[in-house]
Amino acid sequence: MVILMVGGAFALSCQIQARMPTLYRSNQRSAGEVLLGESRLGVSGYFYEMADLYFHCGVRHEHEEAIHGTWFQQRLSELRPNVHRHAAGKASREILAWLRLATAMNPHNVDFVLVAAFWLHHEVGEIDIAQQMLKDAQVANPFQYEIQLERARLYLYRGRVADARSCLDAALAFWPSHLAATDEDARMDRARLLLYRSLILEVDGEREQAIVGLREILRMFPERTSLLERIETLERGDEPALLGAAVWNNLLQSEDERSMLCGSVEADEHIHGEHCNH
């Protein structure tokens, strides 16, 4: 019965999504809220777990089991995959359906939206759809700087620097959103925002404003002394050895590579998929 109910919700949600141009509207309830009320939150979490399960080819995150070491656990291990691996190629597209259902059921979970956008971009190659999903999420979650930051990054991938700058300006205005200004993640994100924006200002010829942003990063994180050389170079009016566009492209790549890391402890058992890029 449970399987039938979940399957029915899955099919119905697919039909709703196919007929709706946008998933989130500020003046309307989400499809999941209309169908399931508050129970949609649990269903959303289930869909997200299914996406993660598909990504790891049927292997759940490891945790201590009550039946560990027993005859039953040994038989069970023979029936389910236990080698850590990632879905690749066309198989990875199956994950998208689960992620979209998770965001449809709970459009206010920003983490789900960010993961879905990341997957759309890097695994499915649909950067425009990823951007639209983030725009829709911004309507459902106004003043969330994380969404604007990710939109800016996607724009930089497409070379739309002016649009990226606008998103970064909005993100800095929204910061720290729901977090405390002293929160370590919020502080790290502010430094990221300032760095991206300073590099764009540098490319746009607004060096004084670029320096202001770099100095703010140094005040937040004095240990980042490598920024001093760039600041001094800009103050002299010289061109940095590595131009701003090259720096932000390297930054985009390094951030995304870190995001793709799965954190497996048993590295020897980790089988990399086609797009794992570890």
> Per-residue pLDDT for 242 more than 90?
yes
Taking Cα atoms as reference points, which of 106, 158, 166 lies closest to residue 130?
158
Average pLDDT on 51-67 reads 45
Residue 16 pLDDT: 42
**Do 36 and 102 meet the contact criterion of CB atoms below 8 Å apart?**
no
The Cα-based distances of 149 to 8, 16, 176, 189, 194 in angstroms read 36, 29, 12, 9, 11
Residue 35 pLDDT: 46
More confident of the two residues 102 and 153: 153
Average pLDDT on 100-113 reads 83
> Per-residue pLDDT for 267 more than 50?
no
Q: How confident is the model at residue 75 (pLDDT cuts 50, 70, 90)?
A: very low
Residue 37 pLDDT: 42
The dihedral built from the CA positions of residue 173, 178, 182 and 184, taken in this order, carries a sign that is negative
Residue 247 pLDDT: 97
Residue 206 tokens, joined:
């607004």
Q: How confident is the model at residue 265 (pLDDT cuts 50, 70, 90)?
A: very low
> Per-residue pLDDT for 122 more than 60?
yes
Q: Select the highest-mean-pLDDT range: 7-16, 20-29, 219-228, 267-276.
A: 219-228
Q: Which residue(s) pair with 271 in the sheet? A: 85
Cα–Cα distance measured from residue 197 to residue 39, given in angstroms and rounded to the nearest whole number: 40
Cα–Cα distance measured from residue 122 to residue 210, given in angstroms and rounded to the nearest whole number: 30
Residue 194 pLDDT: 98
Which H helix or E strand runs over 215? helix 207-220
> Per-residue pLDDT for 155 more than 60?
yes
Q: What DSSP line would sit under 112-139, residue for residue? A: HHHHHHHHIIIII--HHHHHHHHHHHHH
Cα–Cα distance measured from residue 77 to residue 96, given in angstroms and rounded to the nearest whole number: 27
pLDDT averaged over the chain? Answer: 74
Q: Is pTM, for the whole model, over 0.75?
A: no
